[in-house]
Amino acid sequence: MNGWPKTICALCIALIALLTPVFAAAEEYLLGPEDLVSVRVATWDDATATYVPMQAITGDYKVSVGGMISLPVVGSVMAEGQTPEALGDRVAERLQSSAGLFQLPAVSLQIVEYRPIYITGDVSNPGSYAWRPALTATKAVALAGGVLRAREDAFDEASGFREVNLLQAVQVELAQLKTRAARLEAELTGTSTIDFPDPIFHPDGPHVVERIKADEREIMAIRLESQKRSIESNEALIALYETELASLESKIVGQQRQLELTREQVENLKSLEERGLVPANRLIAMEQNLMDQSAEELDLNTAIFRARQRIGETQRDLLQITDNRRQQVMSELQSTRHEIVLQTKREEMLAGLAAMSGVRPVNTTFVTDMRVRRSENDEVSVVSVGPDDMILPGDVFEVELRLEMSSE
């Protein structure tokens, strides 16, 4: 007889579970705030040898923001992070203790309504929706009425095609800017080949992109050749000045030797002239020769100084050719990158306007990006999801519809 109440208890629990409306079921589902649960309680009556429902406790209860549920007699019980079965066991233990029951009551706890998910972005009906088991991203999109489409009553064909024309003009500009930026980067790093980004889209097709690339290669070749000629010209000028300097330095060595000999002759003639051995006019002529040679030495020194100055100036010009070119390329690259950012934003805006008008430009396709913002351990993470990935209770499900450009 001692096992009889336990057997009856087990049967009652099963019976209550069968009679309770089951709105959803999920294996190892953990309760959280905003879950709505149905609680059914029965106690053993020795007099009638049956389980009697406790109507005062039986009812539907929502898990609070703090993760608790509050039951009459039992009080507040932590529900967050518990399975329905585990929470039912805790409620039974608390009720037995609070009510002073001799035997453990039978408690059945079922989920009536799961806590919601929030669907936002490019869907027809964004908002909050009750989660359900086996809810995939595709099913969640369907819950929200599907991916947003252009409203027929808002469709403006003329406006749509105008946006497409503006979009294509921006795409032409972007193709040119991207190839130009690649060429400038190659010039800046000094590489001989251009590493073009892939893909580069042009509304007129890949053959136009190849033509633009060819033009940029030709521009780069012309600019490199021009810079090379400037460098070679300055190097040749430096070599010419150095040859001239070497010649002048050789001449001044001979001039200085001749000047020294002439000074010696002047000193000898002065001694002879004082003794009357040579006429005075011969001394005067030699002194004049000495003065002429000194003037020639001064001219040679001046010429040497000027030759060295010209070499220094030309070397400085040679360095400035490289420095100025690098500064120019850097300035052009910064300006081009800035323009790419601006035109890319314009492209995205015009593509969105075209899509909203119901017109899809050629060589484009609609792409649906899906991601969830999921709170775990008081931290929010953003996770990209595919069509068959599961959406979990409490997720914020974001859907973005965009136009993707094709290089084909």
How confident is the model over 290-343, as pLDDT tens digits?
899 899 999 999 999 999 999 999 999 988 988 999 999 999 999 999 999 999
Answer whether 0.75 is exceeded by the pTM. no
Pair of tokens at residue 16:
């209550």
CA distance 353 to 331: 33
* Dihedral sign computed on CA atoms, order 268, 274, 275, 281: positive
Q: What is the pLDDT of residues 130-172, one digit of tens each?
A: 898 889 999 999 999 988 764 444 445 556 677 778 888 999 9
Query: What is the C-alpha radius of gyration for the chain, rounded to an integer number of angstroms?
Result: 48
CA distance 362 to 191: 36
Nearest to 388 by CA among 404, 407, 370: 370
CA distance 403 to 221: 37
Q: How big is the CA angle at 278 (ends 274 and 284), to the nearest 5 degrees?
A: 85
Burial 75-92 (b: 16+ CB within 10 A, else e): eebebbebebeebbebbb
Q: Would you state the pLDDT for residue 275?
A: 84
Q: Would you state the pLDDT for residue 43?
A: 87
CA distance 219 to 234: 23
Helix (H, G, I), strand (E, B) or coil at 159: helix
C-alpha pair distances (Å), 250 with each of 238, 256, 300, 303: 18, 10, 10, 12
Query: Which residues lie across from 119 on neighbouring strands?
Result: 127, 397
Q: Are strands 396-405 and 116-121 parallel, antiparallel or unpaired?
A: parallel
Question: Is the peptide bond preceding residue 21 cis, with omega within 30 degrees of 0?
Answer: no
CA distance 59 to 55: 8
Residue where the block lists tokens 């070119």: 325
CB 248 within 8 A of CB 279: no
Residue where the block lists tokens 């039974």: 92
Contacts 24+ apart (CB under 8 A), 151-155: 152/358, 154/356, 155/357, 155/358
CA distance 200 to 183: 14
Exposed/middle/buried for 269, CB within 10 Å: 0-12, 13-18, 19+?
Answer: buried
CA distance 155 to 326: 51
Pair of tokens at residue 282:
């011969």
Q: Which residues of the chain register pLDDT less than 50?
A: 1-26, 150-155, 407-408
Nearest to 135 by CA among 146, 143, 127: 143
Q: Would you state the pLDDT for residue 368?
A: 84
